[in-house]
Amino acid sequence: METETTLNVCNFHSTDCKGKIRTITENTNVPLTKKEIILVGMKLCQTHYNKFIVNETRNLEYNRSCSHPKHDIYKTQSKIRKKSQKNLILKKFQIG
């Protein structure tokens, strides 16, 4: 069992820190939006690694727009459709 030392603690020192400690290396793909706060050599717990690296990368991929003029229209319709389907399911369970 590892003991918690200053070498093995998340740089964010938060009550949210949980899980394995990861060291940010030159090979870690840090999203451009987080390059200023996430530096090589930092140590992040799994919670902060997911928040700043994994989730941010996923959000950037999802929000990337294609050059087609109808992309934004399609994306909006897709969100509305998902919301209406969710409401229909909720109503079905409330009735039944």
Give the whole-angstrom CA distance, residue 29 versus residue 22: 13
Structure letter (DSSP) for residue 12: T
Report, as an integer, the average pLDDT of 38-51.
Answer: 93
What pLDDT was estimated at residue 25? 94
Which residues have CB under 8 Å from 67's CB, separation 6+? none
Structure tokens at 22: 């990861």
Task: List Cβ neighbours of 41 (8 Å cut-off, separation of 6 or more).
Answer: 23, 24
- Helices (H) and strands (E) counted in the chain, each on its own, are 3, 2
Are the CB atoms for 59 and 84 separated by under 8 Å?
A: no
Q: Does residue 2 register a pLDDT over 50?
A: no
pLDDT band at 87 (very low <50, low <70, confident <90, very high): low
What pTM was computed for the model?
0.57
Q: Give the SS3 label for residue 69.
A: coil
